[in-house]
Structure 1
Amino acid sequence: MSEFQQRSEQPYVSIPARATLREWGTVNALVPEVYGWLAARDIAPAGALFYRHKIVGGMDEPFEVEVGVPVAAPVEGDGRVLAGAKPAGRYAVRMHRGHPDRIVETHQALLAWAEEQGFPAARDGEAWVGVYESYLTDPEDEPDPVKWETEVAYLVSQPR
């Protein structure tokens, strides 16, 4: 089920990447690096790991994505790791349950629902302003991907 949620700004750190779906292992490989960066600075995560999609690609077209982790307060990046913030605003939100390979269906359903409600996803030209997949299930706690939960959230524009 989809819903709208009003959210406050949320600071985070992330590592940007550019990769096709064929190269997606390079994106997933950034997860331990971003957690390692936080641990080396004694900064605790303040929420679930997320992927921020700026440009959505495909098997041969590159995605522009950030692998990020929320933090309690703004921090400084170091060039490789960026400091940023999820923007405050109204988000269309839907839970994806199951393997991440099927998450595109959740994205499509959420986008269609938000459009029907008159709140299209916010864009800046070709780029999405705020598209987040937050991975709520830790694979070490639940190794079966069929049982994983991932929140999909889109910052939406003002109603038409």
Structure 2
Amino acid sequence: MPDIVELGERPYVALRGKVAMNEISAFADRMREVIDWLAAREIAPNDAPFFKYDVVDMEAGLGLEIGFPVDDLHSGEGEIVTGVLPAGRYASTTYHGHPDGLVDATRDLLAWADEKGLEWDADGDRWTARLEIYKSDPREVPNMADWDTELQFKLKD
């Protein structure tokens, strides 16, 4: 069941790209670039990796960032960007299962918020913070059907 959670600011480092829906998994395979960038600068992630959907346009493509929260704000370079996930109220739910099921989990979260009369912090297709946080480490949970993924979508203040 979804909840509304209050979260503080969270600095992050990510790889930014524009991808079609059918290219998400190939883009996700580039997570290693973020890991290597962080390691080269001796910056440790402080939580699980995430996908941040900045633009959700099923026809024109997705504005997507894949990255990690970190303790302090840094300067990016090239395709590596840095930013701060804003403080505020988020609609949150945890999905257990293969990432293919996240489309349905997202639809369910959007419908729940609509039923509750909640308003997203978004401007059309552009979202302030729409996150999929991958809580399961593939080295420890190799079967993707056993993964836990938290959805956190920022609500309007």
Q: TM-score, normalised by structure 1?
A: 0.92
Q: Quick one: distance in 1 between partners of 2:22 and 2:82?
A: 28
Matched-pair contact (CA < 8 Å) for 1:11–1:72? yes
2:7 aligned with 1:14: no
**One-letter code of the match for 1:107?**
T
**One-letter code of the match for 1:71?**
V
Percent sequence identity over matched residues? 35
Which structure 2 residues correspond to residues 102-117 of structure 1 after superposition, within 5 A?
102-117=101-116
CA RMSD in angstroms comes to 1.4
Q: Quick one: distance in 2 between partners of 1:125 and 1:109?
A: 19
Is the deviation greater in 29-38 or in 119-128? 119-128
Show the counterpart of 1:99: 98
Which structure 2 residues correspond to residues 2-151 of structure 1 after superposition, within 5 A?
2-58=2-58, 61-151=60-150
Deviations 1:96-120 (A, max 9, x none): 1100011011111111112222212
How far is the alpha carbon of 1:24 from its aligned partner?
2.3
How far is the alpha carbon of 1:74 from its aligned partner?
1.0
Matched-pair contact (CA < 8 Å) for 2:57–2:125? no
Structure 2 segments unaligned to the other structure (5+ residues): none
Matched-pair contact (CA < 8 Å) for 1:91–1:155? yes
Q: Quick one: distance in 1 between partners of 2:152 and 2:38?
A: 24
How far is the alpha carbon of 1:122 from its aligned partner?
1.2
**One-letter code of the match for 2:80?**
V
Number of residue pairs aligned between Structure 1 and Structure 2: 157
Q: Quick one: distance in 2 between partners of 1:25 and 1:102?
A: 14
How far is the alpha carbon of 1:61 from its aligned partner?
4.0
How far is the alpha carbon of 1:23 from its aligned partner?
2.1
Structure 1 segments unaligned to the other structure (5+ residues): none
Matched-pair contact (CA < 8 Å) for 1:10–1:85? yes
Q: Quick one: distance in 1 between partners of 2:112 and 2:29?
A: 32
How far is the alpha carbon of 1:83 from its aligned partner?
1.0
Q: Quick one: distance in 1 between partners of 2:67 and 2:21?
A: 18
